[in-house]
Amino acid sequence: MYRRTRKEMPANPEEIVGAEEEGVKFKFLAAPARVVGDENGKATHLEYYEMELGEPDDSGRRRPVKKEGSETLMAADLIIPAIGQKPDISCLYDENAETCPFETTRWQTIIADENTFETAIPGVFTAGDVYTGPDLVISAIGDGRKAARSMHYHITQGSVPVPETTQKEMIPYTLFKEIDNVERKGRAVMPHLCHGDDRNCTFSEVEGALTEGEALKEADRCLRCGLICYDGDDAVDARSFDKS
């Protein structure tokens, strides 16, 4: 059950398709309202509201708006809420303390200087999802490197100089949509279990691994960046590039 449409789902399309292949049915434009149970306290239904998309919110996605009088019951005996992620910072609290020594946001992420990554506690630095919230692995790696730089200067010099130029946004993928005289080669297909009981009724890994030959071939494919080995005046020997 999701309160927006399939288009707005913050999930990898492959994960959505994979769930459907395993029999998961999605109900879009629906938001849970309350759990209905029997006299023994066991869930029997989930009441939900039908939604419609309104104006875009701060993230750019259209805000879901409840349709008044649209309450509907869905039969359910097992309900799993999964409405977001946030760091567990309980370990940062002192014993018997009610406050955290770090300054945090309402999403339980740690507030830090955006240039040095130093927290409200001098000499303590942060990075990764506990600072940004759920994000990409490469973003955490990049911020970790910047935080490590700050730690180095803090320990060796006692202060952290702010660099004049810091890459804060993702580097654009490429300026090239197509490259002349470069052949396309297909991406290797990751092997996975077929539909059925092997995927739904076992703990076997759904996704397998490429063979050594497939991995070497995949690593050798050009990423079509057009920035390293491509010469626009002499592209005869250029390697093949990815379809995506």
Q: What is the pLDDT of residue 244?
A: 42
CA atoms of 62 and 53, how far apart (whole Å): 6
- Phi, psi values for residue 76, rounded to 5°: -160, 135
What are the structural domains, with CATH classification, of the chain? 6-75 (3.50.50.60), 90-157 (3.50.50.60), 172-244 (no CATH)
CA atoms of 230 and 244, how far apart (whole Å): 18
Q: What is the pLDDT of residue 157?
A: 95
Q: What is the pLDDT of residue 93?
A: 82
Reported pTM: 0.57
Tens of pLDDT, residue by residue over 179-198, are 666 677 788 988 888 776 77
Q: Which residues of the chain have pLDDT under 70?
A: 97, 168, 170-182, 196, 223-244
3-state helix, strand, coil in the chain (%, to 5): 20, 15, 60
Q: What is the pLDDT of residue 156?
A: 96
- Phi, psi values for residue 155, rounded to 5°: -75, -40
Q: What are the C-alpha distances in Å from 99 to residues 83, 96, 112, 133, 218?
A: 25, 9, 17, 20, 50
Tens of pLDDT, residue by residue over 29-79, are 999 999 999 999 999 999 999 999 988 877 777 888 999 999 999 999 999
